[in-house]
Amino acid sequence: MSAVAVRARSGDPAFAADVLTGLSRPQKTVPARWFYDHRGSELFEEITRLPEYYPTRTEIGLLKRHAAEVAELAGRRAVVEFGSGSSRKTPLLLGAMDVSVYVPIDISGEFLRASARALAEAMPGVNVIPQEGDFTHRLDLPSEVAQSPALGFFPGSTIGNFAAPRAVALLQTIGETLGEDAMLLIGIDRKKPVERLIRAYDDSQGLTAAFNLNLLERMNRELDGDIPVEGFRHEVRWNTDHNRIEMHLRAERNMRFHVAGEAFAIAEGETIHTENSHKYNVDEARLLLRAGGWTPLRDWSDEAGLFTLYLASR
Ligand code: AVJ
pLDDT tens by residue, 255-301: 999 999 999 999 999 999 999 999 999 999 999 999 999 999 999 99
Task: Strand 232-239: give its sheet, edge to edge.
Answer: 28-29, 271-278, 244-251, 232-239
- Ligand 1 centre and the CA of 86: distance in Å? 14
The residues, any chain, with a CB within 8 Å of residue 225's CB and separated by 6 or more, are 216, 219, 257, 258, 259, 260
Query: 309: how many CB neighbours lie within 10 A of its CB?
Result: 22
Kindly list the protein residues whose Cβ atom lies closer than 6 A to any atom of ligand 1.
Answer: 47, 55, 156-158, 160-161, 201, 208, 211, 275, 277
- Of all atoms in ligand 1, which is nearest to the CA of residue 211? 12
The answer to whether 272 and 23 have CB atoms below 8 angstroms apart is yes
Residue 88 confidence (pLDDT) = 80
Q: Confirm whether the ipTM is greater than 0.90.
A: yes
- Ligand 1 centre and the CA of 110: distance in Å? 20
- Residues in the chain, pLDDT under 70: 1-10, 85-87
- Ligand 1 centre and the CA of 63: distance in Å? 19
- Of all atoms in ligand 1, which is nearest to the CA of residue 277? 4
The rounded distance, in Å, linking the Cα atoms of 279 and 157 is 9
pTM: 0.93
- Ligand 1 centre and the CA of 19: distance in Å? 20
Sign, CA dihedral 248-169-111-7, equals negative
The answer to whether 96 and 72 have CB atoms below 8 angstroms apart is no
> Packing angle between helix 282-291 and helix 164-178, nearest 10 degrees?
60
Residue 17 confidence (pLDDT) = 97
Ligand 1 atom 1: the closest Cα is on which residue? 158
- Ligand 1 centre and the CA of 225: distance in Å? 25
- Of all atoms in ligand 1, which is nearest to the CA of residue 48? 6
Longest dimension (CA), the chain: 62
Ligand 1 atom 10: the closest Cα is on which residue? 277
The rounded distance, in Å, linking the Cα atoms of 47 and 28 is 25
Residue 86 confidence (pLDDT) = 66
- Ligand 1 centre and the CA of 209: distance in Å? 12
Ligand 1 atom 5: the closest Cα is on which residue? 277
Residue 10 confidence (pLDDT) = 63
* The amino acid at 97: M
Residue 9 confidence (pLDDT) = 53
- Ligand 1 centre and the CA of 125: distance in Å? 31
Give the helix, strand, coil percentages of the chain, each rounded to 5.
Answer: 40, 25, 30
The rounded distance, in Å, linking the Cα atoms of 47 and 96 is 27
| Coil vs helix vs strand at 12 | coil
Residue 139 confidence (pLDDT) = 94
